[in-house]
Every structure is written in C-alpha cells, then in structure tokens.
Amino acid sequence: MDDLKLSLFSKKRDIFLSVIFLSFILFLNLFVKYQNYRDFTSYKYKQTTAIVINQFYKTTKTKKSYFILKLKDKTGVIFYGISWKKSLKDLKNCKIRFRFRSDKIGFKNYLKGFFVPIYKVKIISCKNGIKSIISSYISKQHKTVFLKELFCTLFLGDSISKNARKKIQNLGISHLVAISGFHLGVLSTILFLIFSPFYKFFQDRHFPYRNLKLDLMALTWAILFCYLYIVGFLPSLLRAYVMLSIGYFFYIRHIEIISFQSIVLTILIVLSFYPQLLYSISFWFSISGVFYIFIFLYYFKSLKPWQIFILVGLWVYFMMMPIAHYIFGSFNPYQLLSPLLSAIFTIFYPLELFLHIFGYGGVLDGVVLKLFSFDISSVEIKTPLWFLILFISTSILSVYKKIFLYILIILDMLFFAYLLYRYTFG
C-alpha cells in the first residue's frame, strides 16, 4: 500500500478549479503590480529611494567611464540605474535617493527589469545585512579577486565579473556556479544527513511515534526558506523551492512526485505569485533542466541507481545544449568535461561549504586556480531559432510518444556534430 502513488489530478474538474484559482492569484498580483507601476511612473521626472544590490564599473568604446547600479525599490521591483559620475564610492547594500525620468518605462519593462539614467544620487544610509556579512566572511578566506567572486556567487548568488564569467563558460560549468535547484538538492541532502542521527537519538527515547522523514523534511524546508531569504529569492532557487514544497506535499499525500504534471503545476504557481519571472532566463533554464531529468527518469527508470547517477548528468548536458546555445554561444571541446565536473561537484560543493563555515575556504584554492588556468579558445555558435523551436516541440511531444524521444536524441546528436564542425572548420 505504501508503494501506491496517486495521480495529481484524478478528475478534470480538479484541473479546472486549479487553473481558475491560480488565474485569480495571477490577476490579483498583476493588478497590484500595475498599481505600483502607475505610482512608479506617475511623474515625468521622479525622485525615489532604493537599495543598491550590486554595483558595476563600465567603460564605453571611447573609454568614457560610468557605473551601473542594480537597484531594488520598496515594492520589490529590480532595475538598473546608469550613473555617469566619474567616481562613485562603493554603494553596495546602501539605501540611496535619486532622480530619473520615468515616463518612458512600459509595464512590460517594469516587470522584466529596465535600464534608466539616474542623477542627483544621495546616500541615505548604509548597513551590512546578513548577506553582506557572510559575503565579507567568504571573501576574506581567499586572496584573488576571481576566487572571491567565484565562491560568493556559488554560495550567495552574487553577480560575477565578465572575465570571471568567461572562464566559467569556457569550462561549461555555468550551471554549477550559478546557484539553482541542484545546489538546493545538495543542501537538503546534507541537512537531512546531519540532523538524522540526532533526531533518531531523541526519537527512540522520547517520541517513537513521530515520523522521522516527515519531521526532518519540514525542518529542512524551514532552513532552506531562511537561505532563500538571505540570497534574495533568486528565480532559479525560488523555482526549486516551490518544487521542493510541492514534493513535500505530494509525499505526505502519497501522490506521485516525479511527474510532468508537477512541473506544470510548479510553473503555474510560481508565475501566479511572481509574474515577472516570465522574463527570467535563469528560471526557464532551471525548469528545462528539471524537465529533461524527468524525461530521463521516465524512460530509463529501469536502470540501476549508479547508472542513473552517471548517465543523468550526460543526458541533461547534451539535452540543454541547443537551448543554452540560443542564449550563450560560447563553445569548445573542453566543455565535454562538464558532466564529469558535475559529478565531482557533488563532493566538492559540500566540502567547500564546510571549509568556508569554519574559516578554511582557501585550502583548495590552488586546485581551483589550476582548473581555471588553462588557456581555452572558444567560438561563438548560436542555435538557429527554427532549430530551437523544433527541438523544444519534439521535447514536449516525447512526453507522450517514445518515437519522439528517438527523434529528440537524433536532433541533439546532429546539433552536437554541427558544433564540432563549426569549431573545427569555422
């Protein structure tokens, strides 16, 4: 009886009611955001306040310098302010007041994020939040700027410089550095393993009637929410957390967790509460990764656990390749090491996490720098739009018919051959 898994929606009426409810939530959130938008753009020239999330120094082709400030206002809207000041102190985590022209901002851009020139910048207050304190603690454990950026990005989702991003892309491990559901899965596993022996000790003596798995899942869920809050509800993590919450609910109700219905439900729930994520690339990348994992588990569930562990990384890497190359065109053969590095990462990530907690994060810096020291030349190869549409359509159809799975694999192999050909012959 325990192995019996129920379907998510047993009746069409359940689907209809769920869609109606989530549509209402979506409408309500869009209404609130539109009212905030009306207020945000109520004057041609507006003065407002915002928190500086990040700060970037840039130069134009004519060597003229300027700053880009990633800002978050009181309603939670994130946008980018361009300041042409020749010198600007480090404003990260500071609350500032500034003026800008707001009448040219459309509602769509308001949701997805926009760039706007700002002037008359004044500092209201600067304080170190918990994320800033943790970021400083991590940075002090490393000597090079690259490693400081790398580990602050890995653990806190901080932005990373263009040069550092290029090194990471050349190795094909951007998905490992940019925190996502993969990291949340590793963290939840670590927390479960840490708390299990302690809980078991007290359970045996004081509350043997409690369910260990359910209680530890609830505790892990609460701790991960705190982590999500600290890093600022990053889109990819938010998707993963919602899916984790749905999975927790499904587990309690004995509903099948690994199903395509759960992916669709997750998308609808997240977009209903956070409609701006419709324009988030990281959100859709994250969803795509989980989708291809589910495809693999759906068709190859008869494999042994160790075979799944080895092959699922390769599968996701190759399946995501046409999608990734539509946005990021960088390619070189060294990226084929990505699945191997992903497997190693499952050990590296928790090890580095513990080392950083106790102040020894720099122990493996030599090894990490060695990995990124290779001089790798890449070429820019973008996925044609027609092929992307064909690939995604075939991916969706493969859920229903196995023949489309074979077509999907053939398309993926052809695309990989195309990348190798372009890299070799130009």
pLDDT digit string, tens, across residues 105-161: 899 999 888 899 998 888 898 877 788 889 889 999 999 988 998 999 899 888 777
175: pLDDT strictly greater than 80: no
**What is the structure's pLDDT at 1?**
39
Taking only Cα atoms into account, the Rg of the chain, rounded to an integer number of angstroms, comes to 23
Q: What is the pLDDT of residues 348-383, one digit of tens each?
A: 999 999 999 999 999 999 999 988 887 777 888 999
When the pLDDT of each residue in the chain is averaged and rounded to a whole number, the result is 86
Q: What is the pLDDT of residues 93-106, one digit of tens each?
A: 888 999 998 888 89
CA angle, residues 284, 287, 292, in degrees to nearest 5: 125
The domain segmentation of the chain, as residue ranges, is 40-127, 137-425
Least confident among 316-320, 327-331, 349-353, 357-361: 327-331
User: What would the DSSP string read from start to end of 274-330?
Assistant: -GGGGG-HHHHHHHHHHHHHHHHHHHSTTS-HHHHHHHHHHHHHHHHHHHHHHH--E
CA distance 224 to 191: 9
| Fold that domain 40-127 belongs to in CATH | OB fold (Dihydrolipoamide Acetyltransferase, E2P) (2.40.50)
168: pLDDT strictly greater than 90: no
**What is the structure's pLDDT at 10?**
67
408: pLDDT strictly greater than 70: yes
**What is the structure's pLDDT at 307?**
87
Looking up tokens 């359940």, which residue turns up? Answer: 14
323: pLDDT strictly greater than 90: yes
